[in-house]
Structure 1
């Protein structure tokens, strides 16, 4: 007899509506708070000791991504506005600087105190987190002036050897890898169109793309910068909003448009469980960087389009 899927530890409920992004408030040592950003431009601060929201603050409109880099908070809006805030736990955020990127849904990422953002004409840009000034641009090498890659859809940090790289996925299904420091394009490969999310394991050189189809595409990048499709994982329905690897490289999480949260063994790619707590599309999945004292485990948190955040303790033994 098949085992029933486990229940979540807790469900965070409020008036959040469509949540785009969640982020642990981590000071380098511990975390007891969680941030959520929503379609209406609000951030919510959740206390994981009480499982209650302690703050609701309007920071813009349709916030697609947030990053907590103590003592700063960075918000990225659908319009392309990037804002740097000074954040205290007991006071409202103070706006320090603003910057414009390309609008849409691609989430920015942070690499070595640098913010990586999508820009116009399928370019990607690096911004200094302290000055909010441009450091360099990553420009795709195209076959002809008429070639179009469409929107940048996903960004991911990649490490090969001792060097750091930026990996971008596009509407067309193209993957492009640049050297983080020089901006030199190293390789380009074509996968399924409408890439939605990328996760990469720099230890094994293996990554995965989620897209609008019912296939997860697992690939490798070797030390000679060759990208190869390793295999494909068939899903029961189309659309994967987010793929995330747990920090210990044991678990792959896939958040679907169907509201299903699917977990796989990253080593064998064997399916482990399908979680059905959310009714609308999964919009984000994160793993706590350390054990959350209040739950005595490394939490997995998932947000959904219905405005709920689920907390889980799975496969931590």
Structure 2
């Protein structure tokens, strides 16, 4: 390691369940917020100025909240629960009103992926009712754009990632058999497919700028891969971890750092360019389930948050970590 591991700058507590999902909203001029989804079906809005809960939303009938995000600004929150519902919340002017909801018909743990394609146009991808099924809807109208099912039996959809290119939206999906598929949403077709892991892919993330992604499973390995000029998925690097199992992966917005949420209670930080280990963050007493980087413009406010099964969120200041420079 390049330097001793830091300690959390502070921690957040107060939920009665594990923290499955985290999302920062740090718009300039607004109060920096951290949204969390718990295993007891509760969404917390944390004010990062005073480090206290600003609002609590109970909207998934006690079912685990597995994904949270914001639309356009922090005024609209979207949450996904294991009650098979995705909910939209109006948070403007201190409200916590349920505006709309849709059914995913899926009882799995696959988190949704959101793509804002215009000022008021958003696509939402999620696992469908059938085992290998992926659905993409236009969020405001809830209109189904397509249902994607591969020809071969790959098992459950485990994780998905949407992003936009000039020809239209693309989607990466990780499956139960360890396969990774790249879908062209417009053509409803598979552009590339490769077997990456021996076990189900638990999580993945993708950096559109470098056309490079990374995935993890219950194994002790991270696999990174790239898209070449013909949109072929090509394996690139493998990182062996000390202990197996990763719940989530997150790339910082500037493309310099990668964080992993480990089943061994640890958060690992890497330089994204060459996957060079930078730090092992040790604080939690149980599995780390979620990690998220803040999107604040001020480097000193670029925090890393980690949510754990131990019902705590740790926040770390690692803005001055030196990334891979070659």
Tell me, yes or no, whether TM beats 0.5. yes
1:104-134 C-alpha deviation (Å, 9 max, x unpaired) = 1110010121111111231111111212231
Cα 1:32–1:315 change in 2 (3 A) is: closer
In 1, the alpha carbon distance for the partners of 2:210 and 2:186 equals 22
Give the corresponding residue for 1:21: 21
In 2, the alpha carbon distance for the partners of 1:173 and 1:80 equals 24
Aligned pairs (5 A) from 1:35-184: 35-60=35-60, 61-69=63-71, 70=73, 71-88=75-92, 90-112=94-116, 113-119=122-128, 120-142=130-152, 148-158=153-163, 163-184=168-189
For these two proteins, the number of residue pairs brought into alignment is 310
Structure 2: gaps spanning 5 or more residues: 117-121, 322-326
Whether the 8 Å contact between 2:146 and 2:185 is mirrored in structure 1 is no
Aligned pairs (5 A) from 1:196-235: 196-235=202-241
Whether the 8 Å contact between 1:21 and 1:283 is mirrored in structure 2 is yes
Whether the 8 Å contact between 1:97 and 1:132 is mirrored in structure 2 is no
SS of corresponding position for 1:213: coil
Whether the 8 Å contact between 2:39 and 2:65 is mirrored in structure 1 is yes
Cα 1:29–1:194 change in 2 (3 A) is: farther
Structure 1: gaps spanning 5 or more residues: 143-147
Give the corresponding residue for 1:145: none
Compare 231-240 and 153-162 and name the one that shifted more: 153-162
Q: CA RMSD in A?
A: 2.2
In 2, the alpha carbon distance for the partners of 1:29 and 1:47 equals 14
Give the corresponding residue for 2:263: 257
Whether the 8 Å contact between 1:101 and 1:117 is mirrored in structure 2 is no
- State the shift of 1:304 in Å: 0.8
In 1, the alpha carbon distance for the partners of 2:196 and 2:2 equals 35
- State the shift of 1:28 in Å: 7.5
- State the shift of 1:175 in Å: 0.7
Cα 1:94–1:264 change in 2 (3 A) is: same
Whether the 8 Å contact between 1:22 and 1:303 is mirrored in structure 2 is yes
SS of corresponding position for 1:121: coil
With the length of structure 2 as denominator, give the TM-score of the two structures. Answer: 0.88
1:194-213 C-alpha deviation (Å, 9 max, x unpaired) = 10111112222221111110
- State the shift of 1:25 in Å: 3.1
- State the shift of 1:252 in Å: 1.0
In 1, the alpha carbon distance for the partners of 2:260 and 2:48 equals 24
Give the corresponding residue for 2:319: 315
- State the shift of 1:248 in Å: 0.9
Whether the 8 Å contact between 1:99 and 1:132 is mirrored in structure 2 is no
